[in-house]
Structure 1
Amino acid sequence: MADIQQILKQYWGYDTFRPLQQDIIESVLQGNDTLALLPTGGGKSICFQVPALHLNGVCIVISPLIALMKDQVENLKSRGIKAVAIFLGMSYREIDIALDNCIYGDVKFLYMSPERLSTEIVKVRLRRMKVSFIAVDEAHCISQWGYDFRPSYLKIADLRELLPGISFLALTATATKEVKEDIQAKLQFKNARVFTKSFERKNLVYAVRNAENKHEKLLEIINKIAGSGIVYVRNRRETQELARFLWLNKISADFYHAGLPTADRFKKQTAWINNKLRVMVCTNAFGMGIDKPDVRFVVHYEPSDSIESYYQEAGRAGRDEKKAFAVLLYCDADRVEMEQKQQLSFPEVVDIRAVYQALGNYFQLAIGAGEFLSYDLNINEFCSRYNLKAVKVLNCFKFLEKDGYLSFNEGVFISSRIKFVVNNDELYRFQIANAKFDIPIKIILRSYGSLFDSYVSIDEKLLASRTHIDYVTYIQLLKKLDELGIINYLPQSDCPRVTFLTPRADAKNMFINKAYIEERKSNQENKLAVMFKYAAETDVCRSMFIRKYFDEINTSPCGTCDICIESKKNVTILETDFNHFRNQIVVILAERTMTIDDLQQKFTQYPSEQFTYYIRLLIDDGTLFLSENEILNLA
C-alpha cells in the first residue's frame, strides 16, 4: 500500500492514516460496497479522496450541502487536484461545460447534489464518463429513521442501473444500527464491508448543568475554561443577544447565523478561526466543514433536537485530541418550548398546499412550467405578501422537498462567474473594433485562466481596482460584454434559493403524503424524548449513554463526565481491598480476555460504581488495556 501512503504524504502532508482510514481505503480499492462511520473530525473525506487519486477515472461525490461541496472543491484545487461541483442554481451552460471537463479532461472529483441525478443532462453524460467509484457523504440522509432524512437521497441507487458494476462508499458521522441497515438497503449494497469507529471521545468531557439563570452559568463556564469555543443557541435573535451579553462581560464574542450577508459571515468565521475572536455564538448553521482543531469548549444553550445532532455539534471541540468540554445547559422550561416548537415543525396538508400555491404565484409560474428553474427567494417579502409565518413556510418546504416538488437552500453564497463565449480570433477582432473594452478584457485574461474552456469564479472588486474603474461602472461593463455576446456573466448570489424539481403542479391535485408526515412526527418525538432523558440523566455516564444510543455494547464509564465525577465522591478506596481486586483480575485475565460486563459477573460483591471505578484505575495505571472492541486484556 505504499502508493496510498505516498498520496497521503504528497497531498495532505500526513505520514500515517488515522484509525480505520486505511482499512476503509483498502476496501474501496478492492471494489467493495463500503459503509464507514467515523465521528466528527475523524477524517471522512480522506477515505474517498485518497483512493480516488489512486484509481483511474472520476470519483462522483454526492453531498446535500452546497457550502460543504464548495469548500471541499476549493480545498482540493488548493492542493493541485482538479475538482468540480454541480448543484441546483447553476446555469445549463455551466453544467454542460463541467460535465464535458469530467469526460474529456483530467478532473478527478465531481461533486453533485442528489437532486441533479435525475436530470437528463447528467444521466447522458454519466454514461460516457469513466467513473472510479461513488462516494455518498452524509449517508444517514438516505434513511427515514435518520435525524436528517433527505428524500432526494433515494435517487442515488438509480446510479446502479446507470453505472453497472461501480462500487459505493457511504460515509456518515452518526448512525444507529437501524440507520446503518437502512443505508445499505437503500443503496443496494453487495459484498458490503462496514467499518465503525467507536463513538467514544476520550479527550471530550461531557457535562449537563441545570440552570435557571443560564447567562450566569455560561459566564462561569467560559471564565473557567481557557481557549476558544462555540455556543449553540436555538434561533438567530438569541445569537445576537447572547454575544452582546458576553461582550459586556469582557469576553471577545460575536454572533453567526445563515441570515447574515456572506461577507459578514466570512469575516466573523475567519476572525474566530484565527483566534482573533474567542467565542462564536451561533445557530447550527455554523461549524459544518470548518476545520479548527483547538476548540476547547462547545456549550449548548438549549438541548438539540436529537442525540445525533448534539453529538455532531459537541464533537467540534477537541479535534486536536487535547482535553475539551461539551456542556449542555438545561432547565425545565426548555422541554415545554421545544415541544411547542416541534408542533410547528409538522404543518397540515392544507398549509403545505397553500404555501406551494403562493410560491408559484410569487414567481409568476404557469401550471406545467418551471421544471428545474431556480429563483432567489426573499423570505420576508414572500411571507409579507401572502400573510404567512416564516417558520411555517420553512417547514412546509421540507415536506414539499420530500414529495419531490422543490428544493430549498438557505443563504448559500455562489460567487460571480464568467466565461468567454467567443474564440480567441473573434475576441481579438472585437478588441480592435472596440478600443474601450480592450484593456478591461486584457486584465481579465491576465487575472484568470481557462476562461475559454469553463466558467471561472471572479472578484469584480479586484478586477475593477486593476482596471482603475469604480465598482458600479465595472459591473455595468461586464453586463455590456454579456449583452454583446462576448462573455457569459453570472453575478454572485447569497440569497435563499428555491428550485422547482417538477413542472408546477395544480395545488388542489398535488400529492402530499400525510402518513409520512405523521411518521416523521412520531420519529422526531422519540428522538427528542431521548435528548431530554440525556439532559435529565443522573446515574449513567454521559459517554456511555451516547455510545449505547449508537448501539455500542460493553461500554465502560469515561471517568471524566459530571456523572462519573459525582459517583467518585461516593466511592471509598481501601488500599488493601483495591490490591486484592487487582490480584483477582490479573489471575482471571491471565487465562482469557473478557468484556467488562462478563467480568463484572465474577465480582458481584462490589457495587457497580465501585467495580467500574476500580477498572478505570487499573486501565489508567497501565495494568489493564481496553481494546477498540471493548475487550479487557492485561497490558
Structure 2
Amino acid sequence: MPSLSSHSIEEAHRAMQRRWGHEAFRPGQEAVLESLLEGQDVLGVMPTGGGKSLCYQLPAVLADGFVLVVSPLIALMQDQVEALQAQGIAATFINSTLPGYKVEQRWTNAEYGQYDLVYMAPERFSTEVFQARAERLDVSLVAVDEAHCVSEWGHHFRPDYLEIPDAREHLGMPPTVALTATATPTVRQDILELLALPDAVEVVRGFDRPNITWSVFRTDQKWARLRAVVDAVPGTGIVYVPTRRDADRWQKRLDAHGVTAAGYHGGLGAETRERRQQAWIDDDVRVMVATNAFGMGIDKPDVRFVVHMAPPSSLEGYYQEAGRAGRDGEKAHAVLLYQPTDADTQTALIEASHPTAEEVRMVYDAVCSVGQVPVGSEPDGPLAVRLDAVLKTTGFSRTKVRTAVDLVDRQGAWTRLPRRKHFGLLRFSTSAREAREYADAVGNRALAKFVRTLLRTIHADAFGKWWPLDLRAVERRADLSRDRLRAGLRYLEGQGLLHWRPPGAALQVELSFPRASKLPVDDQSVQSARQRAETRLQYMLRYARSVACRRRVLRTYFGEEADQQCGACDVCLGRHQPTAITPEDEPLLRRILEQAAASVPREEWRGELSAPPHRIEELVEWLVEEDYLAVKNPLDGAVRVTEKAENWL
C-alpha cells in the first residue's frame, strides 16, 4: 500500500491547487511537507493564520490510510470537519460530545478506510476503545495540533498530550508532525522530548509580522487611547480585556461612542457567543470586546486592529491574540495599553490560580468533608458536592479551588467528571446479558423498549465504570420527554439494574482510593507551576516596559535574529512624550548610569536606587532616548552605557 513517502512535493503542489485553489505554498509549508514526504517527523512552528492545517490536510488526500489529528479544540472540531466535507474530503471527529455508539461506529468506519482525516481529543488515547483498535488502524500520519500544550511552559498545559508517544507505538510508529504558533526555544525542546521526537526536523517560520505596527502606551487614560484607535483605524477589530465585567463595560462605552460592538466571554450561553461571533465575522458588528475565550480557530483575515486593555499573562498569549490582526498581509495595528497597577492584577490572578501544596490538601479535605466521606472510607459512586460549599469551607477563590481539584486529578487521587448540562452519569449494576434478559422478561412493553434503547445508546464501558450519558441522544432514540426519561432511569435504579447521577451537581469527582488522612501532594511540581507562570508574566511586563524595538523583543523571545530597529513600532517612531527631567533628577540619573557601567543586573538596582520602580523605568527610557544608554538584551532589559555616558560620567 503506497505510503506518504511515495509522493513528491510536486504532487502535493498540484493537489493543493486542485483542492484548495492556492497557487503557492505559504512560508514554512513546503519545508514541512517535504520532510513529511521523506518519512521524517517534523516540528513546525508557524504564525497564527500561517496555514498550519494544510500541513496535515494535504497529506490526508495524498496517502492511503488516514491522518489522525490530535487537537484540544473540541468546540471547533465540528466546524473544521464540515469545512473539509464541503471540499469533498472525508473527515470526522471523535470526542466526548459523542455518545458511545457513535464513537464505536466512527472507529469502525476509520478501520475500514472510510475517512481521510479523523480529529480526536487527546483524552481519547486512554480509552479502552482506542487501545483495542489502535493496531488495526491504518494511520498514515499523526498530526499534533497546538503542540505547545505538551509543555508546562506552554500557555495551556494538557497532560493528556503525554499519552501520545505510547499511542504512536500502538499505531505502528507512523510519521508525526507537531504544529504550534507560539513556541519559545524552551517549549520547542519540551515538545521534542515529551513527544519522543528526537530526530524531528524543526521548521520555524514567520514570527516576524512586518505588516503589523506594534505599539505600547503607558497611560491611565485608556478610554481616550482606545477611542483614538477605533476612530483612526478603519475596519474591524478586537479589544481584549482581562475579565467578563470589563467586556460588558468597554462594549457599552464603544456602543455609546457610536461604534457597533459585541461582548464575548465564557459566561455567555453557547448560542449567544456563536451569534455574536458570526455577526462580527459578517461585519454586522465592527468591534468584538472579549476575554481570551475568543479567537481560537477564528480565521477572519481583514482584522485591522487588536487592542489589549491590559497585559495578558504571557507573551505567548499576547502574540497569539495580537497576531489575529492583519492575516491578509495588509497593514494592521497591535496596541497594548498598560499602567503599572496592571501588573498587580496579573500577580493577583497568579496567586488565585496557583495553590500551595497545603492549600491543595485543604481543598481535597473540604470536598471529602462536604461529601460526607470519612477518613479511610471510599464512596460507592461519584462524589457530587456544591462548589459554593467548598468555597465557604476553604475561604479560597473559585479559581484556586478549581485549580486544586485539577491538581488532585492529575496526581490520580480522584477523577474529575465532566459537568455538562445535558449529561448525567450512569453505571450498570448488571452485565449486558443480564440487562437484556431483564428487558425480555419484564411485562411492561414500554419499559422493555426503554431498556433496549438504553443498551444501544450507552458505551460498553458503562458496565464497568461511570459513563457520561447524553440525555438528548436517549430522548431522540426513545422518543421520550426529559421528565419521563429521568423517571425511567430512577425506576431502573430502584430495580437494582443501574446507578444514576443526574446532571446539575456543581462538582463531581470519583475517588481513586479511600480518603487519605493527609493527601500526599508533589509540592515541587505545584511550586514549579507557579514559578513558570511568574516567569511568563515577567517577560510580558518586560515587553510592556521595554525601551527597545517591539518587533526585536518579540522575535528575540521566540528565538529569532532581529535588527536593532524595525522603524515602524512605537519605540522606533518615537511616539512617546519624553519624560520631564529636572535638575533634581541628576543624582538618580548618575546612579543609574553607574549601575549600568558596573554591569549590575536591572533587578538589583532597586536596592541601590531610592526611587519608585516606575520612575526608574521612566528615567531609563529618557537615557535611552538621549543616547546615554543602549539596550543590550531586550528580554531581560539589560542596558549598557554609551560613549556619551562615559564622557558625562
Per the normalisation by structure 1, the TM-score is 0.72
- Cα contact 1:20–1:195 (8 A) shared by 2: yes
2:200 is the counterpart of 1:192: yes
Mapped to 2, the partners of 1:496 and 1:545 lie a distance apart of: 47
Counterparts in 2 of 1:188 and 1:524: CA distance versus 1, 3 Å? same
Check whether the contact 2:378–2:511 (CA below 8 A) recurs between aligned residues: no
Where do residues 401-412 of structure 1 align in structure 2 (5 Å cutoff)? Answer: 401-404=409-412, 405-406=414-415
Report what 1:628 is aligned to. Answer: none
What's the counterpart of residue 534 of structure 2? 525
Q: Which moved more, 1:100-109 or 1:172-181?
A: 100-109
Partner-residue secondary structure (3-state), 2:254: helix
Aligned to 2:553: 545
Residue 156 (str. 1) matches residue 164 (str. 2): yes
Offset, 1:293: 0.5
Q: How does 1:18-97 map to 2 (within 5 A)?
A: 18-88=26-96, 90-97=98-105
Aligned to 2:633: none
The residue matched to 1:44 in structure 2 has which SS? coil
Q: Is 1:513 aligned to 2:522, yes or no?
A: yes
Deviation at residue 23 of structure 1 after TM alignment:
1.8
* Cα separation, partners in 2 of 1:47 and 1:232, compared to 1, 3 Å: same
Q: How do 1:174-189 and structure 2 match up within 5 A?
A: 174-189=182-197
Q: Residues 487-536 of structure 1, C-alpha deviation per residue, up to 9 Å, x if partnerless?
A: xxxxxx99999786874663546543211111111121111111111111
| Selected match of 1:309 from 303, 317, 322 | 317
Letter in 2 for 1:273: I
Q: 1:400 to 1:312 in 2, by over 3 A?
A: farther
> Taking structure 1 as reference, are residues 499 and 324 closer, same or farther at Cα in structure 2, changes over 3 Å only?
farther
Q: Does the 8 A contact of 1:59 with 1:135 survive in 2?
A: yes
Any idea what SS the aligned residue of 1:93 has?
A: helix
Amino acid at match of 1:552: E
On the 8 A contact 1:411/1:497 being kept in 2, the answer is no
Structure 2 counterpart SS, 1:280: strand
* Residue 107 (structure 1) aligned with residue 118 (structure 2): no
1:394 matched to which residue of 2? 402
Cα distance, 1:294 vs structure 2: 0.6
In the aligned structure 1, how far is the partner of 2:256 from the partner of 2:137? 58
CA contact (8 A) 1:83 1:108 kept: yes
Deviations 1:391-419 (A, max 9, x none): 222322442354354468798999xxxxx
Q: Structure 1 residues 108, 505: CA separation in 2 closer, same or farther (over 3 Å shift)?
A: farther
Residue 408 of structure 1 contacts residue 496 of structure 1 at CA under 8 Å; is this kept in 2? no
Quickly say closer, same or farther: Cα 1:107–1:138, change in 2 above 3 A. same
Q: What is the letter of the counterpart of residue 367 of structure 1?
A: E
The 8 Å contact of residues 41 and 199 in structure 2, kept in 1 or not, is answered as: yes
Q: Does 1:367 align with 2:378?
A: yes
Q: Distance in 2 between matches of 1:103 and 1:497?
A: 38
Distance 1:228 1:10 in 2: 32
Task: Give the match for residue 231 of structure 1.
Answer: 239
Q: Aligned pair in 2 of structure 1 residues 11, 287: CA closer, same or farther (>3 Å)?
A: same
Where 1:77 maps in the other structure, the secondary structure is: helix
Cα deviation digits, residues 380-400 of structure 1 (max 9, x gap): 687579876322223224423
User: What secondary structure does 1:564 align onto?
Assistant: coil
Q: Report the Cα distance in structure 2 between the residues aligned to 1:543 and 1:494, rounded to whole angstroms.
A: 49
Alignment correspondent of 1:320: 328
Match of 1:255 in 2: 263
Aligned to 1:289: 297
Calculate the TM-score normalised by the size of structure 2. Answer: 0.71
CA shift at 1:223, angstroms? Answer: 1.1
Contact 1:140 1:175 in 2 (8 A): yes
What is the match of residue 565 of structure 1? 573
1:343-358 equivalences under 5 Å are 343-356=351-364
Conserved 8 A contact 2:32-2:55: yes
State whether structure 2 residue 545 is matched by structure 1 residue 536: yes
What SS is found at the alignment partner of 1:95? helix
Deviation at 1:193, TM superposition (A): 0.7
Distance 1:76 1:53, change over 3 A: same
C-alpha distance in structure 2 between counterparts of 1:312 and 1:408, whole Å: 30
Asked if residue 279 in structure 1 is aligned to residue 290 in structure 2, the reply is no
- The equivalent position to 1:219 in structure 2, one of 220, 227, 242, is 227
Gaps of 5+ in 1: 415-432, 435-456, 464-471, 484-492, 571-606, 613-635
Mapped contact 2:419–2:508 kept (Cα < 8 A): no
Structure 2 segments unaligned to the other structure (5+ residues)? 1-8, 424-444, 447-469, 491-501, 579-624, 631-649
Q: Matched residues, percent identical? A: 36
Q: Which amino acid aligns with 2:397?
A: K
1:151 & 1:205 partners in 2: Cα distance?
36
User: 2:179 is matched with which residue?
Assistant: 171
Relative to structure 1, the CA distance from residue 249 to residue 497 in structure 2 (aligned partners, 3 Å threshold; closer, same or farther) is same
Q: Provide the alpha-carbon RMSD of the alignment.
A: 3.9
CA distance in 2, matches of 1:193, 1:412: 44
Distance in 2 separating the partners of 1:283 and 1:563: 27
Match of 1:420 in 2: none
Partner SS, residue 571 of structure 2: helix
TM-aligned CA deviation for residue 120 of structure 1: 1.8
The 8 Å contact of residues 59 and 134 in structure 1, kept in 2 or not, is answered as yes
Q: Secondary structure at the match of 2:163?
A: helix
Partner of 2:150: 142
Equivalent-residue separation in structure 2 for 1:473 and 1:535 (angstroms): 57
2:138 aligned to 121, 130, 136, which one?
A: 130
Deviation at 1:167, TM superposition (A): 1.5
Which moves more between the two structures, 176-185 or 302-311? 176-185
Q: In the alignment, is residue 210 of structure 1 matched against residue 210 of structure 2?
A: no
The one-letter amino acid of 2:248's match is Q
Asked whether the equivalents of residues 70 and 145 of structure 2 are also in contact (C-alpha less than 8 Å), the reply is yes
- Between 76-85 and 171-180, the greater mean CA deviation after superposition: 76-85
Q: Deviations over 1:312-365 (max 9, x none)?
A: 000000001110000000001111222122111211334334444565788899
Equivalent pairs, count: 514
The answer as to whether partners of 2:66 and 2:113 remain within 8 angstroms in 1 is no
- 1:488 matched residue in structure 2: none
**Contact 1:406 / 1:498 at 8 angstroms: preserved in 2?**
no
Measured against aligned partners, the alpha-carbon deviations of 1:30-71 in whole angstroms (never above 9, x if no partner) come to 221100000111111111111122111121111222113333
Structure 1 residue 183 displacement after superposition: 0.9
Greater CA drift, 152-161 or 47-56? 152-161
CA apart distance, 1:569: 12
Give how far 1:190 is off. Answer: 4.5
Instruction: Report if the CA contact (8 A) 1:102-1:129 is conserved.
Output: yes
Is the Cα–Cα contact under 8 Å of residues 143 and 177 in structure 2 kept in the other structure? yes
CA distance in structure 1 between the aligned counterparts of 2:119 and 2:199, rounded to whole angstroms: 25
Which amino acid in the other structure matches residue 297 of structure 1?
F
Read off the aligned partner of 2:549 and give its amino acid letter.
C
SS state at 1:317 partner: coil
Distance in 1 (CA, whole Å) between partners of 2:368 and 2:118 is 32
Residue pair 1:397, 1:408 contacting (<8 A) in 2 also: no
